[in-house]
């Protein structure tokens, strides 16, 4: 008998604890959408922390495990970058071969003029990542850039879903939406 399910559940619980303690701020905040909120989840506070990044990688690997034939993961730079790196490294530790990519807000105006950086993902199945979802706007921009180069976007996977409409927007665009942690998990619902 293996203790792998216990270890995986423990990683998720630890991740929730770190996010709750170090990445949730209470007060008056204006979100990217312009909406007001009484709390803010700043996932970069933990996604770039040496103790938490491996947990994010493990939890996100479990979240995307049932999506077949994924070649790479990534999303809009900045928020998705540490999530993609965590998945790449934890995946390699499990013997999985996920590459990572970065989507720029705009194509470069010099060099090769690329908007999607990293290994070539044209013709490959990819998952778009986001640290915290609110409106779904960032994943939609990433999806558009990836489709322009011929990548097949098979899902959007987020670490924390704020339950503010991102799921509906992403699914409305025909892309499955996966979330590792919800507001209930963080005591914010």
The reported pLDDT for the residue numbered 134 is 86
- Residue 88 token pair: 């790449």
Strand partners, 74: 101, 128
Q: Which residues pair with 75 in a beta bridge?
A: 102
pLDDT tens-digit series, residues 122-175: 999 999 999 999 889 999 999 999 999 999 999 999 999 999 899 999 999 999
Query: Edge-to-edge, what's the strand order for the sheet holding 116-117?
Result: 116-117, 99-103, 72-76, 125-133, 152-161, 177-182
pLDDT at 31: 80
With 0.85 as the threshold, say if the pTM is over it: yes
Q: What is the mean pLDDT of residues 169-187?
A: 97
pLDDT at 106: 81
d(CA 169, CA 167): 6
The helix-helix angle for 53-64 and 4-22 (nearest 10°) equals: 130
pLDDT (0 to 100) of residue 4: 53
152 three-state secondary structure: strand
Predicted pLDDT of residue 2: 46
Q: Is the dihedral of CA 46, 90, 82, 71 positive or negative?
A: negative
Separation CA 95–CA 93 (nearest Å)? 6
Structure tokens at 125: 């199945």
- The predicted pLDDT at position 77 comes to 94
Q: What pLDDT was estimated at residue 1? A: 43
| SS3 (DSSP) at 79 | coil
Give the domains, in start order, of the chain with CATH numbers. Answer: 4-186 (3.40.50.2020)
Residues making up the chain, counted from first to last: 189
Q: Mind listing the pLDDT tens digit for each residue in 38-96? A: 999 999 999 999 999 999 999 999 999 999 999 999 999 999 999 999 999 999 999 99
pLDDT band at 187; cut points 50, 70, 90: very high
Record the tokens describing residue 140, joined without a space.
């939609």
Per-residue pLDDT at 21 exceeds 60: yes
- Residue 143: what pLDDT? 98
In this structure, the strands spanning 24-30 and 36-41 are antiparallel
């Amino acid at each position: 008998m293996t203790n792998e399910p216990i270890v995986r559940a423990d990683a998720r619980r630890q991740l929730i604890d770190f996010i709750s303690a170090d990445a949730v701020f209470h007060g008056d905040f204006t979100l990217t959408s312009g909406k007001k909120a009484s709390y803010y989840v700043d996932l970069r506070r933990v996604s770039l922390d040496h103790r938490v990044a491996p947990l994010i990688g493990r939890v996100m690997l479990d979240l995307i495990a049932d999506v077949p034939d994924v070649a790479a993961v990534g999303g809009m730079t900045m928020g998705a970058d540490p999530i993609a790196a965590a998945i790449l490294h934890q995946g390699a530790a499990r013997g999985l071969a996920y590459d990572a990519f970065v989507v720029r807000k705009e194509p470069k105006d010099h060099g090769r003029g690329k908007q999607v950086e990293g290994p070539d993902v044209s013709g490959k199945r990819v998952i778009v990542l986001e640290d915290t979802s609110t409106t779904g706007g960032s994943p939609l921009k990433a999806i558009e850039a990836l489709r322009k180069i011929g990548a097949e976007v098979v899902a959007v996977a987020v670490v924390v879903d704020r339950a503010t409409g991102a799921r509906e927007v992403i699914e409305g665009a025909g892309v499955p939406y996966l979330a590792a942690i919800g507001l209930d998990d963080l005591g914010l619902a």
